[in-house]
């Protein structure tokens, strides 16, 4: 009897393993599909957990992260300033990341054409995560959620701005980090 019970248990476990294995395969296929799709669009799309390491790098660089969208007029207005500082301070170890909050349905119709048209040199990723009430305060406790918003950080210091920048203002803030 004991043996039968053990056998039963064993069966259960192996059965469980099978299910897990299947799930894994399915998720891998899904990942592959997603990757294929993204490469066709040439756009990296993340949820907050995926984005988090990209906006919390610990290295010797100065990082500028700008949250924007093609529909956001003040964001689009200041984008050239971010492009300009990337160009100007790249050799000083500045890295710019543009995080688009465009609606996913507009990735292909608006965001990707915008990146191409304006020949954006900075890295652009899209954040697609509807649980904004989780990730907005996680990015900064004082962020109301209005964009544009910008983080400037290095491994020691981190500043958050819920505002529009002029190029001069942006450079002033960056120079504090670079000097």
Partner 1 sequence: MKRLKLLTVFVLVTTLFAFTGKSVSDGYKIGDLATDFSLENIDGKMVSLSDYKDAKGFIVIFTCNTCPYAVAYEDRIVALDRKYASKGYPVIAIMPNNTDVKPGDNMEAMKARAKAKGFTFPYLMDKGQKIYPQYGATKTPHVYLLEKTRKGNEVKYIGAIDDNYKDATAVTTKYVEDAVDALLDGKEIKVKETRAIGCTIKV
Contact 139, 151 (CB under 8 A): yes
Q: Provide, rounded to whole angstroms, the least separation between the CB of residue 142 and partner 1.
A: 7
Among 12, 30, 40, 73, binds partner 1 (CB under 8 A): 73
User: Using the rule CB under 8 A, is 132 a contact of partner 1?
Assistant: yes
Tell me which of 131, 156, 168, 179 binds partner 1, using CB under 8 A: 131
CA angle, residues 51, 53, 56, in degrees to nearest 5: 110
In angstroms, give the least distance from the CB of 146 to partner 1: 4
Cα–Cα distance, 38 to 20 (Å, whole number): 26
Which lies closer to partner 1 via its Cβ, residue 119 or residue 133?
Answer: 133
**Per CB under 8 A, does 113 bind partner 1?**
no
Residue 60 interacts with partner 1 (CB under 8 A)?
Answer: no
Give the residue with the Cβ less far from partner 1, 91 or 142: 142
Q: Which of 71, 147, 130 is nearest to 102 (CA)?
A: 71
Binding segment toward partner 1, per CB under 8 A, in 15-23, 58-66, 92-100, 128-136: 128-136
How many C-alpha atoms does 67 have within 13 Å on its Cβ side? 24
User: Which residues, 6 or more positions from 55, have their beta carbon under 8 angstroms from its beta carbon?
Assistant: 63, 65, 97, 99, 139, 151
Question: Is residue 136 near partner 1 by the rule CB under 8 A?
Answer: yes
> Which residues of this chain interact with partner 1, rule CB under 8 A?
69, 71-74, 101, 103-104, 130-133, 136-137, 142-148, 162-164
């Amino acid at each position: 009897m004991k043996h039968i019970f053990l056998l039963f248990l064993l069966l259960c476990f192996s059965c469980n393993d099978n299910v897990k294995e299947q799930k894994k395969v399915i998720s891998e296929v899904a990942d592959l599909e997603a990757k294929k799709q993204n490469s066709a669009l040439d756009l990296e799309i993340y949820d907050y957990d995926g984005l988090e390491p990209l906006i919390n790098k610990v290295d010797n660089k100065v990082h500028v992260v700008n949250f924007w969208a093609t529909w956001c007029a003040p964001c689009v207005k200041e984008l050239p300033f971010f492009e300009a500082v990337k160009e100007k301070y790249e050799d000083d170890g500045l890295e710019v990341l543009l995080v688009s909050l465009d609606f996913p349905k507009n990735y292909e119709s608006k965001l990707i054409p915008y990146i191409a048209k304006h020949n954006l040199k900075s890295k652009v990723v899209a954040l697609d995560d509807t649980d904004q009430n989780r990730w907005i305060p996680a990015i900064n406790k004082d962020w109301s959620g209005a964009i544009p918003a910008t983080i400037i950080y290095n491994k020691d210091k981190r500043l958050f701005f819920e505002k529009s920048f002029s190029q001069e203002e942006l450079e002033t803030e960056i120079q504090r980090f670079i000097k």
